[in-house]
Amino acid sequence: MSSRSPDAKAPDPARRNDRSRRAILDASLTLVAEVGYNKLTIEAIAARAGVGKQTIYRWWPSKAAVLLDASLALADDAKTEGGWTGFPDTGDLAADLKLVLRATVDQFNDEKYEAPMRALTAAGATDPDLSARFTEQLLKPQLALYEERLRAAREAGGLAPDVDLPLTVEMLVGPLTYRWLMGTAPLTHAFADELVDRVLGGVSKVTEG
Amino acid sequence: MSSRSPDAKAPDPARRNDRSRRAILDASLTLVAEVGYNKLTIEAIAARAGVGKQTIYRWWPSKAAVLLDASLALADDAKTEGGWTGFPDTGDLAADLKLVLRATVDQFNDEKYEAPMRALTAAGATDPDLSARFTEQLLKPQLALYEERLRAAREAGGLAPDVDLPLTVEMLVGPLTYRWLMGTAPLTHAFADELVDRVLGGVSKVTEG
DNA sequence: TTATCAACGCGAGACGTCTCGTCTTTGTGT
DNA sequence: ACACAAAGACGAGACGTCTCGCGTTGATAA
């Protein structure tokens, strides 16, 4: 057992090869879609990226961490390419939510986004550390956009003044994610629309004049 | 080359040793709680159960499959031990739902149930075959109970006549599962209560006379 | 400015370890 | 005698570490 590399001293980020970094992230996304997360190996990522294994081990602690970074980059790309101009606010809350939730449905149904997303969800379910970073870096920022829009609606008088905003966000995103993850039924635009209507209006019988 | 390994083809279920079967299921539940799903090995299960590895490989295709069977047995036990007498129907839908969702929250927070549940969720996220059986055998029967209770409420006039029952079930279970899985916030009884109220009544401002 | 040089990230891949799933051997119950 | 269980040997393959030159970079000396 050779001697210790004493705690793997910190490599210098300034000297990092950005070309290699991008190649690694790209390769991990391609490969996870090709062979699935279980059969994804760091050796294969290194080979596909044209990189030594050590270059991956130097900068990431696990293949899950690589995928998280890759997904963050992917999300950024999607935002820029998709011409994202902020969460829509036309004044019509239901319409705005349906628009965004439909887009989310499309993303869930897009193989390109689904593969890494499933992988991260799976890995996060049994790795609290990864789960925390996944939630913090990828999920929270997105949920915050919903919350912001809902807050605007609440102040505009469209929502109950005492409504719990994080709860409401999860009422929208939770059922969608649940159906996607468990596969209880197909994910469609109609589902997104109906969900928004029921979250806003409730499922109880309306008894008014 | 192959050929006959006497065990490889069809083992006779009638000759199966039920003592070993139970020992394997018990050991898998104990171990997954002890070391987590990632570090759970079939060798360790075999050792703890006092059986040979081949006995596990003969009857199950993967460690996830073992855990699924173990969880099914666990769910059965929980039902019998817990004195389950069917989904409560006191006539007060909100109260009934809160009761059940609170119990679900407690289960999610109970290490004994959480460990195998996380494991199955993780494994199912990247294994469609397992996911299907997980959903079909463990989830669907539970969701059906919600649906039945909701149907009764709808017929009793408490719910909108045109409400989508599977959607409503997922509006209840989805946010709970989402928060549990992603760890966006702690799972509490208060959360369950508020969720039920908002699902039934909606989040919109009530504008009535 | 230009030549030199040490430091360090890099690609490549050998290495020993670990777990996997299969196969072989031996024991046991009917 | 026979079918299955227990135990473990075995090869395959991925793991993470390590070593080896190569190329780039930034500091120093001419």
Report DSSP letters for A125-152, one per residue: HH-HHHHHHIIIIIIHHHHHHHHHHHHH
pLDDT given at position B144: 98
Whether residues A160 and B199 touch (CB distance < 8 A) is answered with: no
Whole-number percent of chain B with pLDDT over 70? 94
Q: What is the CATH number of domain A63-201?
A: 1.10.357.10
Sequence spans of domains, chain B: 65-201
Instruction: State mean pLDDT over B5-31.
Output: 79
Structural contact between residues B14 and B101, judged by C-beta atoms closer than 8 angstroms:
no
Judge whether residue B62 contacts strand C, using its CB and a 7 Å cut-off.
yes
Spatial separation of the C-alpha atoms in residues A42 and A49, rounded to whole Å: 10
Q: Is the pLDDT of residue A69 over 70?
A: yes
Q: Is the CB of B38 under 7 A from strand C?
A: no
* Structure token pair of residue B42: 């079939």
Nearest to A160 among B37, B125, B203 (CB): B203
Residue A4 has pLDDT above 50, yes or no: no
Q: What percent of chain B has pLDDT over 90?
A: 82
Q: Nearest-CA neighbor of B64 among B28, B88, B95?
A: B28
Q: How many CA atoms lie within 13 A of B182 on its CB side?
A: 24
Q: Are A125 and B32 in contact (CB under 8 A)?
A: no
Query: Which long-range contacts does B133-137 make (Cβ < 8 Å, 24+ apart)?
Result: B133/B68, B134/A182, B134/B68, B135/A182, B135/A183, B135/A184, B137/B68, B137/B72
The model's confidence at residue A14, banded by pLDDT at 50, 70 and 90, is: confident
Determine contact, residues B25/B107, Cβ cutoff 8 Å.
Answer: no
Helices (H) and strands (E) in chain B, counts: 10, 0
Q: Report the pLDDT value the prediction gives residue B12, as an integer from 0 to 100.
A: 76
Is A91 in a helix, a strand, or coil? coil
State which fold the B65-201 domain adopts.
Answer: Tetracycline Repressor; domain 2 (1.10.357)
The predicted model gives A63-83 an average pLDDT of 92
Mutation pick from A179, A197, A203 vs chain B, by most beta carbons of B within 10 Å, is: A203
* pLDDT score, position B3: 36
In b/e form, how buried is each residue of A57-92, taking b as 16+ CB within 10 angstroms? eebbeebbbbbbbbbbebbeeeeeeeeeeebeeeee
Q: Is the pLDDT of residue B161 over 60?
A: yes
Question: Which tens digit of pLDDT belongs to each residue from B78-116?
Answer: 888 888 889 999 999 999 999 999 999 999 999 999 999
CB of B7 nearer than 7 A to strand C = yes
Q: Please state the CATH superfamily assignment of the domain spanning residues A11-60 in this structure.
A: Homeodomain-like (1.10.10.60)
3-state secondary structure B136-192: HHHHHHHHHHHHHHHHHHHHCCCECCCCCHHHHHHHHHHHHHHHHHHCCCCCCHHHH
Chain B residues with CB under 8 Å of A199 CB are 171, 198-199, 202-203
Position A208 scores a pLDDT of 59
In the predicted model, is pLDDT for residue B206 greater than 90? no
Q: B204: which strand partners?
A: A159
